[in-house]
Amino acid sequence: MDLGSGGPGPGYRRGDDMSARLSRLDLARVAVWNLFLQASYDTGRRQALGIAAAMASIRHVWPTSGDRRAFLLRHLEPMNTNPAMAGPLLGAMARLEERAAAGDAEALARVSHMRRVLEGPLAATGDAIFWAGLRPLAGLAGAIAAWQGGALGPIGFAIVYNAIHLTVRLGGVFWGYTKAERIHELMRARWVTLLRFAVRWGIPLAGLCLVVLAASIDAFPRWTVAPAAVAGVFLGSRSVVRGGLLAGGAIMVGLILALVFFKSVP
Amino acid sequence: MSLDAGTWALLLALGLWTALDQSACLQLLVSQPLVASWLAGWIAGDPLCGLAVGVLLQGVWSRALPLGASPLPFLGPASVVGGALAACAPGPRLGLGPVLAVPEAVPLAIALWMSIVVGELGRPLLLRIYRHRGGLIATAMTAAEENQVSRVRVAHLLGLVPTGLLGLGLVVVGLAAGTFLLRMTPTLHADGRWVALPVLGIGVGQACSLSMKRRAWIWGAAALVLGIAVAMT
């Protein structure tokens, strides 16, 4: 993954950099628009409109109308990545646009190159961390908290997930701006490794806790939890049946058992 | 069992928020069942019943991942429907753990089924919306050619409209069909935990299969032994 050295290329003049420098407010605008990244998600251009809408906040780095037009069209190119990981990418692209506007000849080519090279790896990392990692882990932990403390569960779930999600999605714009081409370091960051470890072992442990909690309630059908969990893990790991359909089957079986046994239940 | 106009309005507002939160904007996970069903249950008058449905559905849909452009079930509106129907279901509540409660078996099955149907119905309809945004793209491209940033942004934000309308429509259909079914079903007084506990088990298993793909059998054996040991004692 060659993204260059991270420094400015030939033709880059230090004085020009000062005149076109982006303020924190500009980056904050990019970060806020990043929250609406997928408003117009489309199967063809994916998140292109969202990226263009966010990057438009820094169009003033380009001096002429023609440059700004080219800038907008450049960011309407198809792109698809994890929405949270788009933050660092937007920040890095803003930095490169700033350099390009200041005369760095290579920066412009690097913008498109970085999008192409990093959108996939960032999407894979983001999906693994947020969608397939933090969300189910926080969901199971939230379910345990809800089991014991009611409203604590959903509130804790939302706080834990968003503390990390919003830090990366909003703060990532500022971080990406400082790192520029070196944002790929994010995928090897220590917190990412730690989070992956926590997810790998946290999900099964939280799942076992929930099975134990559910199997210990004072109700006749409590023995059904463990076999159903085993069926869920095996069918899930082989992607045989969708969760909704599997749950639909469990509802039917449970309903039939309830109607058969309901006279013996106090 | 019946919902007044104010409750309908609040549930529709929640349905709209969760529909947009799922992927179109913010993504604060208000659309996840644990939060959306709890809020819907709170609006409909029984937050703990709504929360119980949220706990059940959270695991069930834990493997629904928006990888690439694959559409998810429409979790937000589905969770609102499930939580609200469970909260307004008639009959006594049965304890699911120290805090949570579920309605009787048949009303609970109706609430869960309607939620799953709304979620799965939303999946192809969302994909249809994603495939028919050529007009917005064309508008944005023309605006970019003319260097009109505000028009690019308006075209972008107009994408929220069909997603929001779909969410609202699904909440209306799900709640209307669900309340009708709840009204038509005879009272049987069967224990709702017969329905809840297997669904909870399936959900936990689905969530765990995400991280233990290659060692699923170890986890499965541990869950089986521990779960049955606890249930027997």
pLDDT tens column, B83-141? 999 999 998 999 998 999 999 999 999 999 999 999 999 999 999 999 998 899 999 99
Q: What are B21-64's pLDDT values in tens digits?
A: 998 899 999 999 999 999 999 999 999 999 999 999 999 999 88
Query: Average per-residue pLDDT in chain A?
Result: 88
| Residues in CB range of A20: below 8 A, 6 or more apart | A61, A98, A101, A102
Instruction: Write down the pLDDT at residue A20.
Output: 52
Packing angle, helices A152-166 and A135-149, rounded to 10: 150
Element (DSSP H or E) covering residue A8: none
Q: How far is A86 from chain B (nearest CA, A)?
A: 13
Say which residue, A5 or B57, is predicted with more confidence.
B57
The answer to whether B159 contacts chain A (CB < 8 Å) is yes
Tokens 């819907």 label which residue? B40
Best residue in A73, A140, A225 for a mutation probing chain B (most B CBs within 10 Å): A225
Q: Which residues of A touch B156 (CB under 8 A)?
A: 36, 39-40, 49-50, 52-53
pLDDT of B214 > 80? The answer is no
Q: How far is CA B120 from CA B54, B166, B171, in A?
A: 17, 13, 13
The answer to whether A237 contacts chain B (CB < 8 Å) is yes
Strands (E), chain B: 94-96, 100-102
Q: What are A241-262's pLDDT values in tens digits?
A: 788 888 999 999 999 988 888 6
Pairwise CA distance, residues B162 & A162, whole Å = 26
Tell me which chain A residue has its CA closest to the CA of residue B62: A136
B158·A40 Cβ contact <8 A? yes
Q: How far is B219 from chain A (nearest CA, A)?
A: 7
Half-sphere exposure of B67 (CA within 13 A, CB side): 12
Tell me which chain B residue has its CA closest to the CA of residue A119: B68
Tokens for A35? 């929250």
Instruction: Write down the pLDDT at residue B216.
Output: 66
Pairwise CA distance, residues A190 & B109, whole Å = 45
pLDDT of B69 > 80? The answer is no
Best residue in B211, B215, B225, B226 for a mutation probing chain A (most A CBs within 10 Å): B211
Element (DSSP H or E) covering residue A50: helix A48-55
Tell me which residues of chain B, numbers 20 to 59, contact chain A at a CB-CB cutoff of 8 Å. 23-30, 32, 34-35, 38-39, 47-48, 51, 54-59
Pairwise CA distance, residues A241 & A205, whole Å = 24
Q: How far is A168 from chain B (nearest CA, A)?
A: 13
Tell me which chain B residue has its CA closest to the CA of residue A259: B190
User: φ and ψ at A44, to 5 degrees?
Assistant: -90, -65
Identify the weakest region by mean pLDDT among A111-125, A232-246, B36-50: A232-246
Pairwise CA distance, residues B188 & B206, whole Å = 31
Pairwise CA distance, residues B50 & B47, whole Å = 5
Instruction: Please report which confidence band the pLDDT of residue B68 belongs to, taking 50, 70 and 90 as the band edges.
Output: low
The answer to whether B97 contacts chain A (CB < 8 Å) is yes
Element (DSSP H or E) covering residue A103: none
| CB distance B21 to A32 below 8 Å | no
The answer to whether A12 contacts chain B (CB < 8 Å) is no
A148·B97 Cβ contact <8 A? yes
Strands (E), chain A: none
Residue A79 DSSP SS3: strand
ipTM of the complex: 0.93
Phi-psi region of B92 (alpha: psi -120 to 50; beta: other; left: phi over 0): beta
Q: How far is A7 from chain B (nearest CA, A)?
A: 30
Q: How far is CA A214 from CA A208, B55, B200, B204, in A?
A: 10, 11, 8, 11
List the Cα angle A40/A45/A48 in 5-degree steps: 65
- Count CB-CB contacts under 10 A for residue B225: 11
B137·A261 Cβ contact <8 A? no
The answer to whether B209 contacts chain A (CB < 8 Å) is yes
Tell me which chain A residue has its CA closest to the CA of residue B94: A219
Pairwise CA distance, residues A62 & A84, whole Å = 27
A244·B73 Cβ contact <8 A? yes
| CB distance B18 to A158 below 8 Å | no
Tokens for B118? 């709304």
Pairwise CA distance, residues A114 & A171, whole Å = 20
A226·B136 Cβ contact <8 A? no
Element (DSSP H or E) covering residue B132: none
Instruction: Identify the sign of the CA torsion A41, A46, A52, A57.
Output: positive
Rg (chain A; Cα; Å)? 24
Instruction: Please report which confidence band the pLDDT of residue A230 belongs to, taking 50, 70 and 90 as the band edges.
Output: confident
Pairwise CA distance, residues B52 & B86, whole Å = 9
Helices (H), B132-159: 134-145, 149-158
Q: How far is CA A200 from CA A158, B126, B210, in A?
A: 20, 31, 9
Mean pLDDT throughout A151-158? 97
